[in-house]
Amino acid sequence: MKLMFRLLLAASVFAGALAPAPAQELRKIFPYRYVQEDLPNGLRLISTPTDYPNLAAVYIVVRTGSRNEVEPGKSGFAHLFEHLMFRGTEKFPTSRYEETMKKAGAASNAYTSDDLTVYHTTFSKEDLETVLGMEADRFQNLKVSPAEFQTETQAVLGEYNKNSSNPEYKLEEVLRETAFDRHTYRHTTMGFLKDIQDMPNQYEYSLKFFDRYYRPEYTTIVVAGDIEPKKVRALVDRYWGGWKRGSFEPQVPADPAQEAPRKAHVNWPNPTLPWVVVSWRAPAYSDTDLDSAALDLVTFVGFSENSELYQKLVIQEQKVDMLGAFREDHIDPYLFSVYGRVKKPADVEYVRDQILATVERLRSRPVDAARLEAVKNNVRYSFSLGLDDSQSVAAVAARYVALRRTPETINDIYDLYAKVTPTDLQRAASRHLGEKTRTIVTLSGAAAAASGAGK
């Protein structure tokens, strides 16, 4: 799925400015009124006043993650720039940037994922102009010397080595490499090790990467808190309006259809509890497709702490100490995965078969309607509880903005959840969780590997 942008001069979507909210708006899962505006250069601004006084949060969403790393040998650069962006500019070198944030009492950080990189700051509302000004400066005028580049690439290699000491990271890495053939989701956000090792030699390419993706048409600024949208817009016009849009569009390779089940095993060199993950190809994020919404609900119906399988494997039989299903929202088709950490190597195949049997039941007959309604209510209630401060409001909006570039998709997807019936859930499981699109990866430690467990 590619997000298409239009240059809508001063075009705004108002979830209301001053007038009372209509009754139907009050039922929306994302209850905050927001103002959505596009600058002439393609930059999007989403201003969300909240009821929480004195504080504001700025989340700057760059629709650039490991998905954008389309050139062979160049994986990991989206994550690298999460580091490099804190190296400063001529106007705000690192020391001045950090000192200014410290004086403002601001909390600032960043994260990278498959489809996005997000830079976020929470601060007193009086410092809004300072924050927006400094952020605009580093997005438009980042300056990293070759020596600083070398330092950060070594730091990234160190981060990779640290992550690789965790068997869960290796499990995820092998799962992706096994499940995908061509798509850039085949590598983790960190990138392939050989590419990270070669990063110190890629200074010139890094300049090209920044020039391609750190552009207004890839960027959305989310501001939430004790704010006035008109004043926020004026500040964004002042500091971000002169940012020049680019022209690069990545050609992300589509993965061919999977026509047969796949499997892999990881022999971990040290003692560890064994893992099993069962995954299926799953559709991309959609706020209009019932199958997409139904698969999200399958993760709760079949594998949450209240599910029959969890109660059996974790509580009653105590064969597993961790169990859960995940279907992370992605721009392109990704994976539906069920993970289990098994207490004894001899039980790995049993746990795998129990996961498969649970999925087969979901495919073969509708779930209990009351059970499904309880899950939907719990999902909705849990989401609402998370919107408990301005930072959380901005953080949630940012995650969905990366997918659809508007918070309205939150209301759309939760409205879709409400429509899912037991028949819809069965149809989605039957259509997408079949044998042909399945990948199973197991991991076992040194002692287990010696005994042949997990093979």
| Averaged pLDDT for residues 424-436 | 98
Beta bridge partners of 275: 341, 443
Let me know whether 63 and 206 are in one domain.
yes
Question: Distance between alpha carbon 283 and the CA centroid of its chain, in Å?
Answer: 15
Lowest mean pLDDT among 42-46, 160-164, 447-451: 447-451
Q: Are 422 and 367 in contact (CB under 8 A)?
A: yes
**Placement of tokens 């690789």 in the chain:** 164
Residue scoring higher pLDDT (245 or 450)? 245
Is residue 326's pLDDT more than 90? yes
| Averaged pLDDT for residues 316-337 | 97
Q: Rounded to an integer, what distance in angstroms lies between the CA atom of residue 308 and that of residue 366?
A: 15
Give the start-end residues of each E strand in 102-246: 107-112, 117-124, 219-225
For residue 11, the model assigns a pLDDT of 29
DSSP line for 385-437: HT--SHHHHHHHHHHHHHHHSSTHHHHHHHHHHHH--HHHHHHHHHHHSSSTT
For residue 430, the model assigns a pLDDT of 98
Let me know whether 17 and 78 are in one domain.
yes
For residue 27, the model assigns a pLDDT of 75
Say whether pTM exceeds 0.85: yes
Q: Rounded to an integer, what distance in angstroms lies between the CA atom of residue 330 and that of residue 115?
A: 7
Q: Are 25 and 76 in contact (CB under 8 A)?
A: no
Q: Which domain, by its residues, includes 354?
A: 262-450
For residue 5, the model assigns a pLDDT of 25
For residue 338, the model assigns a pLDDT of 98
Q: Rounded to an integer, what distance in angstroms lies between the CA atom of residue 132 and that of residue 126?
A: 12
For residue 249, the model assigns a pLDDT of 94
Tell me the three state secondary structure of residue 272.
coil
Do the domain assignments include residue 245?
no
For residue 6, the model assigns a pLDDT of 24
Let me know whether 32 and 107 are in one domain.
yes
**Short-list 119, 129, 128, 130, CA closest to 97:** 130
**Placement of tokens 């497709």 in the chain:** 289
R_g of the chain computed on alpha carbons:
23
Is residue 316's pLDDT more than 80? yes
Of 208, 240, 272, which residue is a domain's last?
240
Who contacts 403 (Cβ-Cβ below 8 Å, separation ≥6)? Answer: 115, 285, 329, 331, 409
Name the pLDDT band for 245 (thresholds 50, 70, 90): very high
Let me know whether 173 and 288 are in one domain.
no
Do the domain assignments include residue 70?
yes
Domain count, the chain: 2
DSSP line for 82-123: HHHTTSB-SSSBHHHHHHHHHHHT-EEEEEE-SS-EEEEEEE
Q: Are 385 and 395 in contact (CB under 8 A)?
A: no
Let me know whether 230 and 273 are in one domain.
no
Is residue 134's pLDDT more than 70? yes
% pLDDT > 90, the chain: 91
Is residue 455's pLDDT more than 80? no
Q: Rounded to an integer, what distance in angstroms lies between the CA atom of residue 251 and that of residue 166?
A: 33
Is residue 3's pLDDT more than 80? no
Let me know whether 269 and 308 are in one domain.
yes
% pLDDT > 70, the chain: 92
pLDDT tens string 38-75: 999 999 999 999 999 999 999 999 999 999 999 999 99
Backbone angles phi, psi at 452, to 5 degrees: 90, 10
Do the domain assignments include residue 255?
no
| Averaged pLDDT for residues 143-155 | 96
Is residue 257's pLDDT more than 60? yes
CATH of the domain at 16: 3.30.830.10
Tell me the three state secondary structure of residue 373.
helix
pLDDT tens string 185-226: 999 999 999 999 999 999 999 999 999 999 999 999 999 999
Of 210, 240, 270, which residue is a domain's last?
240
Backbone angles phi, psi at 11, to 5 degrees: -75, 130
Do the domain assignments include residue 251?
no
Do the domain assignments include residue 268?
yes
Is residue 2's pLDDT more than 70? no
Let me know whether 165 and 278 are in one domain.
no
**Six token digits for residue 268:** 């971990």
Q: Are 329 and 403 in contact (CB under 8 A)?
A: yes
For residue 414, the model assigns a pLDDT of 97
pLDDT tens string 168-193: 999 999 999 999 999 999 999 999 99
Name the pLDDT band for 448 (thresholds 50, 70, 90): low
Question: CA neighbours within 13 Å on the CB side: how many for 365?
Answer: 5
